[in-house]
Amino acid sequence: MADDTEAITARLSTLGFADKTIKDAIKNQKHLTSLLSVIDEASSTSDDVAGELPRDQLVHLNALAVASKDTPLPNRSYITAAIRDGRLRSSVQVEAAIKYAKETPGEIKPDGFNKAAGVGIEFTKDQVVERVKEYILERKEEIEEQRYKLLGSTIANVKATTDLKWANALDVKQAVDAEFLSLLGPKDERDVIKKGKGDAKPAKEKVEKKKQAVDTPAEPDPLNSTSMFEEGFLGALHKPGGNPQIKTTLRDEHLKATGGKVFTRFPPEPNGYLHIGHSKAIAVNFGYARYNNGCCYLRYDDTNPEAEEEKYFTSIKEIVEWLGFKPYKITYSSDHFQRLYDLAEDLIKRDKGYVCHCTADEIHKQRGGKEGEAGERYECVHRNRPIEESLAEFRNMRDGKYKPKEALLRMKQDMKSGNPQMWDLTAYRVLDAEHHRTGADWKIYPTYDFTHCLCDSFENITHSLCTTEFITARESYDWLCDALEIYKPRQSEYGRLNLTGTIMSKRKIAKLVNEGHVRDWDDPRLYTLVAIRRRGVPPGAILSFVNELGVTTATTYIMTTRFEQSVRRYLEQTVPRLSLILDPILVVLENLPEDHYEEISVPFKPNDPKMGEHKVAFTNKFYIDRSDFREVDSKDYFRMAPGKSVGLLRVPHTVKVTGFVKDEETGKVKEIRAKYENDVEFKKPKTYLQWIGHAPEKGSPVKVEARLFNQLFLSENPESNPNGFLADINPNSEEIYGDAIIDTGFHEVRRRAPWPAAEGERNGEEVGLETVRFQGLRVGYFAMDRESTDEKIVLNRIVTLKEDGGKN
């Protein structure tokens, strides 16, 4: 039996079935029998079922096997053949075909089958957009009223009630998402579902929920950053070598070079600082390689010398390493300039490239004119010039005989295609700029569309992972590799990460910096990764956030509050606690002598002895926060007030206010007089206050400047402000407390940084000040700022604590 299982596993694995699918089938004899029978049918209808099958066909064949494992399905072999020959391409079509077969037990009539299963019905992306626009326009008022509450049902209904059910599901979803965004703008506070008293669940339902909670955690584990590789989009990617090639020898050479390992790459353009959206790309590419014991390149796409600066190269490398990843190799697209040039000549010699002298406006017209005009596309007049002529002109471009925009090398693709990425894209252009690495050696530079797939091929990338805006580019990616008959990596697309309530545009951030609205590109109120790092967000929290969101093909719009909640959960488990007082008032215990001194042990984190503890001084003087005192008491107030007894954290006896002194100029309370109640029977107080002892000889308190950051913009969509995004700036986005104090445990926290220790920050070099992280009790999570000096400590608030129901 074991031998049979091994043989079956080997057969299914050879065909390309995922390990999980194979294991599930082997566990269920009916499923396994049905699946093997379907594969036999596929073999009888096609003579090439020997090697690995396309991934979508494997999914469809398995679905067919599951549908027929309990009850025989009439005409199943007909459906199997339709899957193999490409008539059934989507899960929706296969489901419809199965339903038709069940309802039509007699001989299948091709016309009826084709109509029921949507065979031959295809939609271009543009056609999907138009149909979705029509659908949403008919329901515009209802959508404007209920906003994003209708997003999910609209996607479902547009597929269920129109023939768009046969269209690519991702195209439909993206079209609906785009129309909602265009109509409503990004999500804002109106789209947050708030639970009120009326939302209370019946007692019985609460009990059931509680029972379920035993098996189902309420929140994701913030310290887990790998589950995204085990399921969904990344879990279903092909195995190395599973990407089809124009020649089988290319696959064999590729596997020999890689040893069957996963190879990915992170290819940023070094023309700006990375932002929060790039963290997902880093986590996906480096993380997927690491999870599969593979390798990931850091490749700088440095083909635009006019926009590149050395500081961006340095910053990108630092951010990748800060996030805990080590590149397999650091490469540059410019490493391959000669090889790319040689392939460009090869493309011309194969009559798949030509030199064009059209203006930008002329090329625009060739491609149909402005969007919505739907003009007729036509070929460039230079497209069919002799090969030798294009080759000579291309060499003239190389030799500097043309100025910028006077000549281009274009790829000879398919101007009749419905995909704009096939409309004779530019491969090379003339640029009058020196390159940071090659100097003045080159007068021409390759474009992204020419460079990207070829560099992937040179580096034997197994999984070219990018965001969904490059879906249409996949066809041109594949076309170029096949046209040159070189190894073709498989491009796979996932949804990008967007945060609402902030600005990501380099041009707009530059405006904020240049006009003094923020300090610099690393101002903690921004969402560049250098700013997030300076703010004190740990790299592990970012990876946890990306993992928590998961990786799908859907573009993600996330409110900044959700990001902060994820960071807060991470910090809750990983950093120590200290007493931090923003606006201190001195309290004098009149019944204790001037030389009274006690040392009190305080844990860095209650109930977590691994974090250790520290000693703090308790004398006849200490500080509390101004917000913890009132001049006049009231019944619903439980903190310090005249005549009221309150507790101090970790101090054995209560204190009672006897009086206070005001500053004559400001009228503010500057000193509180109190009694230490060590001579009366202890009665547990309703409130315990945080405090910091006054013991200058012990270095207590530690003086600091605390910067509390709030949202930089007032709305979730700053660009929707009719007066421009600058008019949406929050005037209270930063609060500075220049006379704040912290307890002396801070020195130990600083000595033991980074917090948490298991981060990319601990790489053998001196750790940055932002790694000194802690929770300031009742105030928020903080980290040291890079502007701190020996004379002045500056703290940045990373995120607030969880919201309180009320502060009494």
Q: Measured between alpha carbons, how far is 783 from 776 in angstroms, rounded to an integer?
A: 10
SS3 per residue for 362-403: HHHHHCCCCCCCCCCCCCCCCCCCCHHHHHHHHHHHHCCCCC
Question: 107 φ, ψ to 5°?
Answer: -65, 135
Catalytic residue among 84, 496, 535, 577: 496
Q: 2: Cβ–Cβ under 8 A, 6 or more apart, which residues?
A: none
Q: Measured between alpha carbons, how far is 117 from 98 in angstroms, rounded to an integer?
A: 9
DSSP 8-state class, residue 87: S
611 burial via Cβ count (<10 Å: 0-12, 13-18, 19+): middle
Catalytic residue among 95, 253, 269, 719: 269
Tell me how many helices (H) and strands (E) the chain has: 26, 27
Pairing of strands 580-581, 734-742: antiparallel
Q: Measured between alpha carbons, how far is 239 from 250 in angstroms, rounded to an integer?
A: 16
SS3 per residue for 550-565: CCCCCCEEEEHHHHHH
Q: Measured between alpha carbons, how far is 55 from 214 in angstroms, rounded to an integer?
A: 37
Let me know if 569 is a catalytic residue: no
| Torsion-angle region of 375 (φ positive above 0: left; ψ -120 to 50: alpha; else: beta) | beta
Containing 598, the helix (H) or strand (E) segment is: strand 598-603
SS3 per residue for 152-213: HHHHHHHHHCCHHHHCCHHHHHHHHHHHHHHHHCCCCHHHCCCCCHHHCCCHHHHHHHHHHH
Please name which of 472, 482, 367 lies closest in space to residue 415, comparing C-alpha atoms. Answer: 367
Angle CA 60–64–67, to nearest 5: 135
- The dihedral over CA atoms of 772, 774, 776, 778, expressed in degrees to the nearest 10, equals 160
What is the secondary structure of 780-795 as a DSSP string? EEEEE-TT--SS-EEE
Scan for tokens 């785009």, then name that residue: 178
Whether the CB-CB separation of 461 and 491 falls below 8 Å is answered with no
CA distances from 488 to 245, 448, 459, 464 (A): 6, 16, 11, 10
Q: Which two tokens stand for residue 467?
A: 């965001």
Q: Measured between alpha carbons, how far is 108 from 91 in angstroms, rounded to an integer?
A: 20
Chain CA centroid to CA 80, Å: 39
Angle CA 448–451–454, to nearest 5: 140
Whether the CB-CB separation of 655 and 589 falls below 8 Å is answered with yes
42 burial via Cβ count (<10 Å: 0-12, 13-18, 19+): buried
Whether the CB-CB separation of 677 and 599 falls below 8 Å is answered with no
Whether the CB-CB separation of 529 and 277 falls below 8 Å is answered with no
Q: Which two tokens stand for residue 573?
A: 């488990």
Containing 709, the helix (H) or strand (E) segment is: strand 702-709
Whether the CB-CB separation of 279 and 540 falls below 8 Å is answered with no
Catalytic residue among 165, 385, 437, 506: 506
Let me know if 639 is a catalytic residue: no
Please name which of 64, 9, 12 lies closest in space to residue 34, comparing C-alpha atoms. Answer: 64
Let me know if 269 is a catalytic residue: yes
Catalytically active residues are: 269, 496, 506
